[in-house]
Amino acid sequence: MRHTKKILTAAVCSVAASASTLAQTDKSNTLALEEVTVTAQKSTKNAQDSAVALSVISSDALTRAEVVSADQLTQLDPSLQVGTAGGTNKSFFIRGVGSSTVNSYTESAVAFSYDGVFIEKPSATTGLYYDLERVEVLKGPQGTLYGRNATGGAINVVPAKPSVETTNAYATVSVGDYGSIAAQGAVNLPVTDSSAIRMSGFTLEHDGYLSDNSSDADVQGARLQYLSEPSDNLSIRIASDYTQTNGIGSGNVIIATSATNPFTNQYVVQSSGLGNDVGPNDSKTADLLMSTFNGVAGRYLEPPYPGLTVDGQFWGVNAEIDWETSVGTLSILPAYRKSDSDDVTIGAGFSAIDSKKFDQANLEVRLHGFSESGKIEYTVGTLYFESNTEALYAPQQGYLAVWQDFDLSTESYSAFGRASYSLTDKLVLAAGLRYTEDEKSITGTSDTMASYCTTTPTPCLNAPFLPFSDGAQSAIETLGLFPIVDNFIYGSMAAPATSYLRTIVDKDERIVDSKTTYHLGLEYDLTNSSLLFATYETGFRSGGFSFSAARPSFDPEEIAALTVGSKNRFFADRLQLNLEAFYWEYEDQQVTHAGNEPNGSPGFFTENIGKSEISGLEVDVQFMATENTLLSANLLYLDAEWTDFKYNVPANENPVLTGNGPSVYFPVVTGCDSAISGAEWEIDCSGLDATHSPEFAANIGVQHTIPVGVDSAILAGLRSYFQTDAINGFDHLEAQKVDSYWSTNADITYEWNGGAYYIAAYANNIENNRHIQSSSYFATNSVLAGSPVNPRTYGIRFGASF
């Protein structure tokens, strides 16, 4: 891999040298950075004492950046890339590792947990970003403590907890452009000397960020928690939450089209010419599609179905029982979550029905404690998880429509343990082990209809497209189609030269995957405030299913990761310097993307990459330059490469149409090397950069306080995110390249009464750089589309605490 050995050698030397040199500095200044507590390793620790690569985003940072959804976290952590994919679907990538999760049978490679509860479906993570303590981003595989679906890392959203010690409340209200109104608040009330409740809620509304008013928001939620501490060694907390989403939902923009020349049957990829604010139901989008010729249907495309909508309910109940025993703290965490959504979302120039009912149940039991001598610290536990999904996913492209109606279930068992042993007062050896067994099953039907023009060169211009509907039979009846070959080929009196091909795929499969993953670590306390560590961690993500004749299932992925790092505080805790060098090696890494089936119909399936490698450096600096000035910088260098990735796709000669007209082919449009071999294209993507992997990324900020009187102050903040160019889609097309960019947020706050009240003005994405977060190319639809980031926004925020 490019420069990997040099990178790691230089990084290890740099980490050791910086720590040993700066550790000698005399601590003579009284200024100090705040201590940060995390639960990333399933126990409460100071973040600087945790031998794991992680970032912590504070509640204050989330509020100042107006973070209300996961896709806004990218600007606060350069290692994290989050994209939207229509409706409430989200895709998480950490250092280039993740999945495009656009339907219910694709899973994330980043484990998302809310209040200690793993949430399997990224779409079910909606409406959680209010009344929080912090967000933790763990980088790299977390195979022993988090288990499956954590090959890329983990995201922990930690809500504020009830307290029996005080009565307090707060409220914040933001008013901004695009008709934005956002509010959140909480009340903490002790009920008795040993119990308390905490009630919190939020609302968010804003008009669409795209020209057709899509990418709007209409979300409300509430959370209720009850804490009881009946004795000094027993704590019981019960929590529940509910979120409702409405509105149009996220939209996307057409980046490019690959119109077909009907005489040469070749694709010509060209820019759409549309700005990154032109929504899918804008008249400009309609004009573009109606001038894009599709060689399969023998006619021009039509605008997508205009009725985009989201309608979802998400709720859950969970508990945390902590009992301090003579052998350690026993924690029991039962949870149940459910979501029910009925959305019409947008794809690459087409609309899709995305309706799903999802529920999951978790039970984790773990014990954390120390040996009598204090030299051994241990965590052992077990986790049971099950989920069930009933879904209808129906992308409809006019000339082609797919209805996937299925039930999906997962049942997972795991047992894990991790222990550390203090060899000396400064040197600690750590080891961990986890066994996981996953059982997945799917039953359902994929019903596909496609229209094919059977003569040349363009005789099917008036052939009717398939109507937007909830099933193939409805489309057949609406168009008045008649069977030519029963339940397989249909004809139309309105378009004699067009054949409508119907393909039905029934699926009833079950897979069982199991894996033992492990962790090895070495920690050395150079000083009381300087930690050196090295870890080796493995992880896996179980295989799964696709509604695909060519790729009906895919294999598990495995990862091994080496990390060398140093966490330091210097100059009497005024300067924090954390460094990390990492090298990850993947086997069978799963990537999800659009593609073609042998009969020419589109598919959305997962490929296993033979091998991929990821290495890099991350530096995190915080410096209290003066009593009132805090400087920060988080810098990432990333080298992510698909080192061995070859696969085949059908050349798509449709045997049904041979003899009735020209054979229909789908020439491959991709940034990979490709060559035709018989009935297949051989694709070689080896050596390409991984997607969502900018070579350099940085988050730089300054926070300055100006005292005004005795108990008032003005706070000014400036935070800027930068990244170099990157590819945001699987196909590696030139149009999927995002050029380097800056995105800057600024705020100024006046607070009084010791900070109990404040008023602030803010502006986010000042440059108004609306780059594309993620993109998908559908060759059959001749369209490349993607989701842009939010535009420049500004407003005023008010806050009060009591």
Which of the four pLDDT bands, split at 50, 70 and 90, describes residue 652? low
The three-class DSSP label of residue 211 is coil
Instruction: Work out the average pLDDT over 45-64.
Output: 88
Q: What is the DSSP letter of 72?
A: G
What's the rounded Cα separation, in Å, for the pair 722 and 742?
5
pLDDT at 93: 86
pLDDT higher than 50, residue 3? no
The three-class DSSP label of residue 598 is coil
Closest listed residue to residue 651, CA positions, set 785, 550, 506: 550
Point out the least confidently predicted range of 69-78, 133-142, 296-305, 738-747.
Answer: 69-78
- Give the residues across from 689 on adjacent strands: 641
Cβ atoms of 362 and 117 within 8 Å: the answer is: yes
The three-class DSSP label of residue 128 is coil
Instruction: Work out the average pLDDT over 686-697.
Output: 92
Any idea which residue has 């997607």 for tokens?
691
pLDDT higher than 60, residue 655? no
pLDDT higher than 60, residue 28? no
Strand order in 80-84's β-sheet?
80-84, 90-94, 97-98
Closest listed residue to residue 295, CA positions, set 323, 264, 270: 264
Q: What is the DSSP string of 637-649?
A: EEEEEEEE-EEEE
Instruction: Work out the average pLDDT over 540-560.
Output: 86
pLDDT at 6: 47
Which of the four pLDDT bands, split at 50, 70 and 90, describes residue 102? low
Which of the four pLDDT bands, split at 50, 70 and 90, describes residue 265? low
Cβ atoms of 347 and 776 within 8 Å: the answer is: yes
Cβ atoms of 649 and 667 within 8 Å: the answer is: no
Q: Phi and psi of 161, rounded to 5°?
A: -105, 160
Per-residue pLDDT of 769-780, as tens digits, reads 998 888 888 777
pLDDT higher than 80, residue 604? no
| Other C-beta atoms lying within 10 Å of the C-beta of residue 643 | 16
pLDDT at 458: 62
Q: What is the DSSP string of 241-268?
A: EEEEE-SS-B--EEEEEEEEETTTTEEE
What's the rounded Cα separation, in Å, for the pair 471 and 447?
8
Any idea which residue has 């030269």 for tokens?
497
Rounded to 5°, the CA angle 308-313-317 comes to 155
Residue with the larger pLDDT of the pair 22 and 344: 344
Per-residue pLDDT of 411-468, as tens digits, reads 999 999 999 999 999 999 999 999 999 999 999 998 989 888 887 666 788 889 999 9
Residue with the larger pLDDT of the pair 673 and 800: 800
What's the rounded Cα separation, in Å, for the pair 310 and 179?
19
What's the rounded Cα separation, in Å, for the pair 337 and 239?
12
pLDDT higher than 90, residue 550? no
Average pLDDT, the chain: 87
What's the rounded Cα separation, in Å, for the pair 172 and 195?
26
Which of the four pLDDT bands, split at 50, 70 and 90, describes residue 103? low
SS (H, E, C) 734-763: HHHEECCEEEEEEEEEEEECCCCEEEEEEE
**Would you tell me which CATH number, out of the four given (2.40.170.20, 1.25.40.80, 2.40.110.10, 3.40.50.1950), belongs to the domain 4-801?**
2.40.170.20
Pairing of strands 153-159, 110-114: parallel
Instruction: Work out the average pLDDT over 135-148.
Output: 88
pLDDT at 29: 47
Per-residue pLDDT of 562-586, as tens digits, reads 999 999 999 999 999 999 999 999 9
What's the rounded Cα separation, in Å, for the pair 318 and 241?
9
Q: What is the DSSP letter of 19?
A: H
Q: What are the angstrom distances between the C-alpha of 643 and each of 20, 151, 586, 646, 763?
A: 36, 18, 10, 10, 41
Give the amino acid at 384. Y
| Other C-beta atoms lying within 10 Å of the C-beta of residue 786 | 26
Closest listed residue to residue 252, CA positions, set 343, 177, 122, 345: 345
Per-residue pLDDT of 732-746, as tens digits, reads 888 889 999 999 999
What's the rounded Cα separation, in Å, for the pair 144 and 559?
12
Buried b / exposed e over 581-593, threshold 16 CB at 10 Å, is: bbbbbbbbbbbbb
Instruction: Work out the average pLDDT over 511-535.
Output: 94
Q: Phi and psi of 58, rounded to 5°?
A: -75, 165
As given in the structure block, the two tokens for residue 106 are 């694709």
For residue 457, is the peptide bond before it cis, meaning its omega torsion is within 30 degrees of 0?
yes
Residues contacting 65, CB < 8 A, separation 6+? 72, 75, 76, 719, 745, 764
The three-class DSSP label of residue 616 is strand
Domain map of the chain by residue range? Answer: 4-801
What's the rounded Cα separation, in Å, for the pair 232 and 428?
31
pLDDT higher than 50, residue 22? no
Pairing of strands 646-650, 266-271: unpaired
Strand ranges (E), 246-375: 253-261, 266-271, 293-294, 299-300, 312-325, 328-346, 351-370
Closest listed residue to residue 688, CA positions, set 650, 733, 722, 723: 733
Proportion of the chain in helix, strand, coil states, percent, rounded to 5:
10, 60, 35
Residues contacting 222, CB < 8 A, separation 6+? 199, 200, 201, 202, 241, 242
Pairing of strands 680-684, 646-650: antiparallel
Residue with the larger pLDDT of the pair 11 and 564: 564
pLDDT at 261: 62
Give the amino acid at 727. I
Point out the least confidently predicted range of 201-210, 329-338, 522-531, 681-690.
Answer: 681-690
Per-residue pLDDT of 285-341, as tens digits, reads 999 999 888 777 888 889 999 889 999 999 999 999 999 999 999 999 999 999 999
Rounded to 5°, the CA angle 767-771-773 comes to 135
What's the rounded Cα separation, in Å, for the pair 261 and 254?
20
Give the amino acid at 683. I
**Which of the listed ranges 226-230, 527-531, 545-549, 783-787 does the model predict with the highest average pLDDT?**
226-230
Cβ atoms of 611 and 586 within 8 Å: the answer is: yes
As given in the structure block, the two tokens for residue 500 are 């409508």
Cβ atoms of 651 and 674 within 8 Å: the answer is: no
Residue with the larger pLDDT of the pair 378 and 599: 378
Cα-Cα-Cα-Cα torsion 461, 464, 470, 474, nearest 10 degrees, comes to: -160
Which of the four pLDDT bands, split at 50, 70 and 90, describes residue 648? confident
Cβ atoms of 689 and 727 within 8 Å: the answer is: yes
Instruction: Work out the average pLDDT over 774-796.
Output: 87
Please give the share of the chain, as a percent, with pLDDT higher than 90.
55
Greatest pairwise CA separation for the chain in angstroms: 89
Per-residue pLDDT of 498-508, as tens digits, reads 989 888 888 89
Residue with the larger pLDDT of the pair 273 and 75: 273
Rounded to 5°, the CA angle 249-254-258 comes to 145
